[in-house]
Chains A and B, each alone.
Chain A
Amino acid sequence: MSERLEKELRDEEPRWSRIYGFVLGFFALEILLLYLFTVRFS
């Protein structure tokens, strides 16, 4: 488990960084949409 984990951490970090970037972008989009929703309906 530990060796597999070390390998997983080492090999897949660049891919995880991209995934985190995508999630961050999605979060920013959610806030933007909520802000536009507030402006439109308040």
Chain B
Amino acid sequence: MSGIDYLVLFATVLAIPLYGLWRTRGRESLGHYLKGDKTIRWGTIGLSVLATQAGPITFLSMPGQAYESGIGFIQNYFGQPLALLVVCAVFVPIYQKLKVFTAYQYLGKRFDRKTQMLGAFLFLVQRGLAAGITIYAPAIILSAILGWQLNLTIWLAGGFVIIYTVAGGTTIVSLTQRYQMMVILAGMAVAFGVVIYRLWPSISFHHALAVAGQLDKLQAVDFSVDPHKRYTFWSGAIGGFFLALSYFGADQSQVQRYLAGDSLRSSRIGLLFNSVVKIPMQFFILLLGAMIFIFYQFEKPPVFFNRPAYERAVEHGAGPQLNDLATKADQLFEQKRDALRAYAADPSPEKMEPIKELDGRAQALRTETKQVLNQNGADPRSKESDYVFITFILQELPRGVVGLLVAVILCATMSATAAALNALGSTSVVDLYRPLRSSMGDHHYVVAAKLFTAAWGLVAIGVASFANLVENLIEAGNILGSVFYGSILGLFLVAFFVKRVRGSAVFFAALIAQATVFVLFFTTGIGYLWYNAIGCGAVIILAPILQRLLFRAEPREVA
């Protein structure tokens, strides 16, 4: 990165939180610290919800995912618009009516204190770990590619977030997320523009789409019913619906975003904004990855994008073997480029056949290279796809834009982490600490919320510092969420719709459901999105049964 890139990077990353600190100075009530104020409108809520969900992995790993496997990942979002409608119609009015600070407070009001604490505890475990992954994922890639020290990168991404989140609470999180999201969207649009512009002399956009489609990169919808396939219309629409319903309805990091508004209307429009823009946004991010794939059909790509793994294998003595594979890859690349140029000059189906055949051989060669790397020190769980987009940014984008795109990744890290820390601090105070020390003044709880937020920040940095690579980075957060979200969602759905069930029945039903999901997770290989439906379904079925068989005489207790 050049000097101008560092200037753009640090100016962007620092300016937004500093502005937020200036805007939110001197506001100290608990209500303000946890729920924000009336200056937060639907636009800020919409962008804040979008930024909280997206995170750095979306922008760093997703183009690489499309580069490698196509844009089928888009189907994971098919359940989201429907889930957001349910949240708008059912969850938001209840939260607003009861004036709760956290979603789990509602469980306390509807059931009892132990159920409130169970919901809060499951959230704290899941979100505390996920916050660590959110910091770790971009840090490991940026440090490897840019040569930055890993722990320094983790502290750079996490340390500043702790300071401004502790200082400004919910208002600063929403405010900074608005501007961070604007930077992110602008950066991704510039990257998309550059790749199309760079492709133009070689192939038109339309023909680039045709080639990408023929090479299996553009299958957006797959109606297969195979439960072992990770991305299908059905797993996305059904499993994705439960994941999104749980995430938006019962994950405090999101609930806090849309309760920050001045009215029910602001919360609802902010959420509906997300239900409309999410799928198109993800589509363009994935399409960017597919276009980068086409770009690297005309410009020679690195033999292996995960450069650190490649260098480690060379140090292990695999250099001659890798050089041999690289020579074969170069020859294949040139043959394929010639075939593509012939197709671009005269697009006809018969000219596509040799391209497909050469692409198959190139893929086989990449698999062979990967096996050599795995035998020579590369972590088999580290994904080549995570390094594709950052390599493209550093090698192909003009000076200044590189700094902007690295800022995009750091902004996404900061915005998602800030929302998580804000929610972890709030839940710790409202659902665990305040019930134990209930007679203190407002100022005491604000200080406690700040201390808990800072403590969770240090936990997240600790998790990030000791984390190992967990499969593909893009998946790690979703898998972790899916393991816990089902039972949390089950608690809320029983609370809303099964009136006769009381605290103890739903509490034990949730414990059994969570244990079942753990067993399935460790013993079967079913697609992770299904855990949401299984956990949630188990609570909904078990709670009335337990109520009828074991807790029939239990009186209603209000926390």
Q: Interface residues, chain A, CB within 8 Å of chain B?
A: 1-2, 5-6, 8-9, 12, 16, 19-20, 23-24, 26-27, 30-31, 34-35, 37-38, 40-42
Contacts and interface: CB of A to CB of B under 8 A. Distances in A.
A41 B268 contact: no
Contact of A35 (B81, B97, B221): B221
Interface stretch (B207-215, B248-256, B404-412, B518-526): B207-215
A19 B212 contact: no
B74 interface: yes
Interface stretch (B47-55, B272-280, B364-372): B272-280
A9 B93 contact: yes
Contacts of B279: 27, 30, 34
Contact of B272 (A2, A5, A19): A19
Contacts of A40: 213
Contact of B88 (A1, A20, A37, A42): A20
B500 interface: no
B216 interface: yes
Interface in B176-227: 209-210, 212-213, 216, 218-221
A38 B93 CA distance: 38
Contacts of B216: 42
Contacts of A37: 218, 220
Contacts of B97: 2, 5-6
A40 B214 CA distance: 10
Nearest to B263: A8
Nearest to B70: A42
Given A27-B275, A30-B279, A31-B221, A8 B264 contact: yes
B218 A8 contact: no
A23 B272 contact: yes
Given A16-B89, A26-B276, A41-B213, 10 more contacts: A2-B99, A8-B263, A20-B85, A26-B81, A30-B81, A34-B74, A35-B220, A38-B220, A42-B213, A42-B216
A8 B81 CA distance: 23
29 contacts: A2-B99, A5-B96, A9-B93, A16-B89, A19-B272, A20-B88, A20-B89, A23-B81, A23-B272, A23-B276, A26-B276, A27-B81, A27-B82, A27-B275, A30-B279, A31-B78, A35-B220, A37-B220, A38-B218, A38-B219, A38-B220, A38-B221, A40-B213, A41-B209, A41-B210, A41-B212, A41-B213, A41-B218, A42-B219
Identify which of A5, A26, A37 gathers the most chain B CB atoms within 10 Å of its CB.
Answer: A37
B265 interface: yes
A37 B216 CA distance: 13
Contacts, number: 63
Nearest to A6: B97
A40 B216 CA distance: 12
The 10 lowest CB-CB distance pairs between A and B, nearest first, are A41-B213, A27-B81, A34-B220, A41-B218, A38-B220, A35-B221, A38-B221, A42-B219, A30-B279, A42-B213
B42 interface: no
Interface in B298-326: none
Contacts of B484: none
B280 A30 contact: yes
Contacts of B88: 16, 20
A8 B213 contact: no
B283 interface: yes
Contacts of B212: 41
Contacts of A24: 81-82, 85
Contacts of B218: 37-38, 41-42
Contacts of A6: 97
A12 B269 CA distance: 13
Nearest to A26: B276
Interface in B79-103: 81-82, 85, 88-89, 93, 96-97, 99
Contacts of B74: 34
Contact of B268 (A16, A26, A27, A42): A16
